[in-house]
Amino acid sequence: MKNFEIPIIYRSPLISAIKNRRKQQDKMKKDFTPTLLDLGDLRIYLARHFGFCYGVENAIEISFRTIDENPGKRIFLLSEMIHNPQVNADLQSRGIRFLQDTHGKQLIDFANLTKDDIVIIPAFGTTLEIEKRLQDIGIPTEKYDTTCPFVEKVWNRSAQIAQKDYTIVVHGKPGHEETRATFSHAAAATPTVVVKDMKEARLLAEYIKGTTTPDSFYTTFKGQYSEGFDIQKDLARIGVVNQTTMLASDTQAIADFLKQTMIETHGLTPDTVETRFADTRDTLCYATLDNQSAVIGLLDTPADLAIVVGGYNSSNTSHLVELCEERMPTYFISSEEKIRSPQEILHYNFHKRQEERTQDWLSTKKAPLRILISSGASCPDALVEAVIRKLAGYYNATRTVETLVTTFAG
């Protein structure tokens, strides 16, 4: 796999040494057991896979290279490069300006752009409508397009099944940049509808079976279906694709459920199921799946609490938090700065969409205290190391961290 030029500020000697060691020991990536960092009275278990994925590293490399190669030019990002506040702040400090916020709200009018400007497409991709607007101005989008290859894979698969007259069902968060982009690409070729969870999939199934009044569809799924969607005929043949950062198990469950709905509704057999339901299992992102599988493996380890590091608006990170919350107290933090002391931590409640303060969260008297740690696909390894060092400081184990770097690198 390609090695990317990532700014050194995002790298971590400790995490790099650990990841390289695990890669040598498990080249096929079949072992999802965590890595133990024994710091005496503190034991930290790191997930087998976490941090920057291929698509994120690709986007960061292109963005920083674009800045270096175009001194004096106005450079814009369509929206957040990735869902990590540090990376986005670093890009802004280098002069890049955002045209939209993460929800698609316009911050700088496209009318202010000229053909001499550079606009970088973020890793989530963008809609066909926005691509056309930029091209009409005379701004080329191909050279500075950082769309993740695995997002493009979903688009390509959607196009393939669209040619066979399947309607696309997108499992994703309707307001998310990636889902908006995938919806746009799919809807250009075939009727498309977005379902955000199993609850909405079950509602959709009622329309497939004809047990719910058709006209109510347009209210229930308002803003989530393509123009001209005909509930009477556009659910006769379907295929499910996903926002790549959703829980893979949730996407598979929704696909399996809708497949079974089609089988029961149309009396299909294993040999005839593809006449109504397209096989799209190959659209699941390997990095999302690896990170989620690693957290599931991590949770097999008895522990006192879990910490997940990442941007608060990161979909893939929130799903890692969701997995951990089912088993133990879990703290979702954006950086080590959120750890104020052993007595106080600021952490994000993604259910309420707000940061909360918890007291007496860390017991320095219990020995050993066992903490599980993972991070999202847009989180720099340097942040994970900073969290480890912050925790180690409470247990007088800073020197031990330095020893671990040498141990794993040796």
Check residue 179 and give left, alpha or beta (phi > 0: left; psi -120 to 50: alpha): alpha
Strands (E), 172-329: 192-195, 238-242, 277-278, 305-309
- CA–CA distances in Å: residue 29 to residues 103, 160, 287, 347: 35, 30, 11, 31
Read out DSSP for 197-228? SHHHHHHHHHHHHT-S-GGGHHHHTTTSB-TT
Sign of the CA dihedral running 38, 44, 47, 51: negative
Q: Are strands 35-39 and 369-375 parallel, antiparallel or unpaired?
A: unpaired
Contact between residue 253 and residue 199 where contact means Cβ atoms under 8 Å apart: no
Read out DSSP for 32-46? -PPEEEEETTEEEEE
Residue with tokens 């890009």: 91
Looking at 178, 200, 336, 385, which residue is catalytic?
A: 178
Contact between residue 154 and residue 242 where contact means Cβ atoms under 8 Å apart: yes
CA distance 339 to 288: 26
Nearest to 104 by CA among 86, 122, 88, 84: 122
- The 8-class DSSP code of residue 174 comes to T
Length of the chain: 410
Residue with tokens 């309420």: 352
Contact between residue 189 and residue 162 where contact means Cβ atoms under 8 Å apart: yes
Sign of the CA dihedral running 210, 212, 213, 215: negative
Q: Does the annotation mark 178 as catalytic?
A: yes
3-state secondary structure of 239: strand
3-state secondary structure of 342: coil
Token pair of 66, please?
């674009």
Phi, psi of 175 (to 5 degrees): -90, -5
Residues tagged active-site: 178
